Amino acid sequence: MMMNRRTFSTTLAAGMATSLLASSPRARAQTNPRLRNVVMVHGAYADGSCWSDVVGILQQAGFRPTVVQHPLTTLEAGVEATRRAIALQDGPTVLVGHSFAGMIVTEAGMDPKVSSLVYVAARAPDAGEDYTALAKTFAAPPASAGLVWSEGYGKLSEEAFLRDFAGGIPHTKARILYAVQGPISDKLFNGKTTQAAWHSKPSWYAVSTEDRTINPDLERFMAKRMNARTIEVKASHLSLISHPHEIARLISQAAGQLS
């Protein structure tokens, strides 16, 4: 059966529109409803609000993100809070961690609901590994010198926070982040993971090339060791704030929505 010119043009236009729609994050999320859950965990010197821009992008794309607010007291407490959030998900879930939360992701990621892991400038220890000892095999990042302790809790000085932790963030916003930073317990960094989910779960990693909180070469080492699909973002430690679209895209890839 032959088409006339008008029918052919209409069919072609409809096909192009369908193709363009299918390539959008929203359409891809809708065509794969089985994996729309994303649980995100914040790192030290921060709280869950640091994920706000990424959350907004993911919601627009059809995902259901949840941000864990953990107490920054011990690794075990962070893992427990994350497991509670995972338990509330209704199906397969992408688990995402920034900075210290990479340890939480590494441990809690063994949950059967977790389908894939995303590390954003994050720690990624092996089971039982002394992360502090591992980090000492690389040049010390400047931010660590700015940690100030008082009565068992530590915070970054304003100078260290603005220069070494939140570099590249507009000054006004960085000062707000400094004001709301979460103090860490002196026990937080003592914990060790008992298992490493990245051995059995597909993993993605975003290296921050301008990072002054975790050595970028250490990030590259951990990403390569776990055989993660890796991107490099020209950003400070807070790439999730300065480059939320890149991080949201990486999460979408981990969810199988983007190639």
Question: Confidence class of residue 257 from pLDDT cuts 50, 70 and 90?
Answer: confident
Q: What is the mean pLDDT of residues 108-134?
A: 98
Once rounded to an integer, what is the mean pLDDT over residues 13-39? 50
Question: Residue 114 and residue 215: Cα distance in Å, rounded?
Answer: 28
Residue range 92-102: mean pLDDT, rounded: 98
Beta strand pairing status for 114-120 and 203-208? Answer: parallel
Average pLDDT score, the chain: 89
The pLDDT tens digits for 139-164 are 999 999 999 999 999 999 999 999 99
The residue-averaged pLDDT of 237-244 equals: 98
In degrees rounded to 5, what are phi and psi of residue 180? -105, 10
pLDDT band at 92 (very low <50, low <70, confident <90, very high): very high
Task: Tell me how far apart the alpha carbons of residues 115 and 96 are, in angstroms, rounded to a whole number.
Answer: 11
Pairwise pLDDT comparison (20 vs 204), residue with the higher score:
204
The pLDDT assigned to 16 comes to 32
For 152, what's the count of Cα atoms within 13 Å in the CB-facing half-sphere?
6
Per-residue pLDDT of 209-239, as tens digits, reads 999 999 999 999 999 999 999 999 999 999 9
Distance, CA of 84 to CA of 68 (rounded, Å): 9
Average pLDDT over residues 69-96: 98
> Whole-angstrom Cα distance, residue 81 to residue 79?
6
- Check: CB of residue 47 under 8 Å from CB of residue 69: yes
202-236: b (≥16 Cβ within 10 Å) or e = bbbbbbbeebbbbbbebbbebbeebebebbbbebb
